[in-house]
Amino acid sequence: MKSLITSILFILLPGLSNVITAQEIKLITCIDSALSNRGNIRAVRTDIEIAKLQTSSAYQKYLPDLSLSYNYRYNPVIPAQIIPVGQFNQVPTDEKRPIKFGTVWQQNSGLNLYQPVIDLSIKSRVEESRINERLKNTDAAAAERDLKMEVIKSFTNIWLNEERLRSAELDTIRTSGIKEFFMIKAREGRVLKTEVNRTILNHNNALSNYFAASSSLTREKIYMAFLTGISLETLLDGKFDFSPFSGDGLTIVNKDPLPDSIPSVKSLMLKAELIKQQQKSEKMKNTPAIGFEGFLGANQYTDNFNPILSDSWYGSSYLGLSLRFQILSGTTVKNRVNQLKLEEKGIKSRLDDEVKSVSNKSLQLVEEIRQIEYQAGLFKQNISLYNENFSLNQDRFDKGQINGYDLITDEIDFQKELARYNEKRAELVLKQIELINNSGALSSFIDNLR
């Protein structure tokens, strides 16, 4: 057995040396890298910038509206006005005479100014833009949360696959030692050929499991490289820091959902708020709007086409207070408001269902975690018992008290139980992270990793 221990150390030491010198890869590093490199995250962040510009554009409706106007007109028919010329006599009479006002050619140019003073429709549109901006932020938070969860799942799968690979490596070394041990005993005539063949079969199966575990680990690291943008060489050669998953599981502070921290719930809340604000905007369309209006320009009147004729230009200007009040329009505000009320009702129904769904999922996850923790605890006890039995049976085998089949069976049972325990640990961590995510506390969990 001493020679077997020596060979195990000889095989493991080069691997340990590589682990010591390898670059350490932390979970938070993978998450940050994924958020910086994924195209869909950059896309939703662009949507946020667009929403901010839309809010800024809505604010600019309060700024003065200054425009330059110019037109040149030909008047083939000059309008006439009936003038009571008799009223201008010393003795007024009822005489009236049509008089044409204007010239055949006319041009005018000037600056027009409008400054809103009171316009509730602008204020309502600004509020809409603000809500839409918050909605885009929530969409971005949802996309980031999904990506964070995917990175955490991949990181956990790497941890599980490394545990499986380590178990498979030890299993391969152990089965190799048992195979050599049985071959020696066979030459001494103490075991049957069938027992030697069984040890060879077990060792071949262990080798197969080792290469399968190695391949699974490599594929998961390839996927992690895709998610994070970290080079595959770094992930293959690096040493992952699994300390956040150490122990018997994660610490969950709050299991109850926090609605304001759950993107799916918050998104529906903001959509309902947006539709309510849109109803206000529709109603504001018919409210009075007050502003200052001004004009500064000149008009030209000529009977012949001559745009630069001197002494034909006449200045014109005005400055005043403007009141606009919509009395009748082609659109029915009431009909549009009723449509929005129905949309709001539908979204509130979906919001109610979403809150109930999140709460139900949390309760389900809590129960699953409780069950997995109990099973993991049993597997942990079983591993200690299997390991103890294996050591005792090795001594009994050396003394000829049991046959080789019993020892091989103990070895297989021990490895199976160890694999089941490692899988339960990974399953427990995944369910705990899922509960943390469902309760809206994923950001707090990630912040604690920094």
188-231 tens-digit pLDDT: 777 788 888 888 898 899 899 999 999 999 999 999 999 999 99
The most distant pair of C-alpha atoms in the chain lies apart, rounded to whole Å, by 155
pLDDT of 396 reads: 81
Task: State whether the Cα torsion 142-146-152-153 is positive or negative.
Answer: positive
pLDDT of 18 reads: 44
Element (H, E) at 362: helix 333-398
Number of structural domains the chain divides into: 1
Distance between CA 146 and CA 152 in Å, rounded?
Answer: 10
Contacting residues for 17 by C-beta, under 8 A, at least 6 apart: none
pLDDT of 12 reads: 42
pLDDT of 14 reads: 44
pLDDT of 278 reads: 86
pLDDT of 424 reads: 84
pLDDT of 22 reads: 63
Residues with pLDDT less than 50, the chain: 1-20
Query: Which residue range forms the structural domain that includes residue 137?
Result: 2-449
Query: What single letter denotes the amino acid at residue 155?
Result: F
Q: How many CB atoms neighbour CB 148 within 10 A?
A: 22
Q: Are 293 and 322 in contact (CB under 8 A)?
A: yes
Q: How far is CA 3 from CA 70, 74, 316, 384, in A?
A: 103, 113, 111, 24
Query: What single letter denotes the amino acid at residue 123?
Result: K
Contacting residues for 108 by C-beta, under 8 A, at least 6 apart: 69, 70, 71, 297, 298, 299, 300, 316
| CATH number for position 328 | 1.20.1600.10
Q: Which residues of 301-322 are buried (b: 16+ CB within 10 A; e: fewer)?
A: beeeeeeeeeebbeeeeeeeee
- Which residue from 208, 210, 214, 206 is spatially nearest to 174, judged by alpha carbons? 206
Question: pTM for the full model?
Answer: 0.71
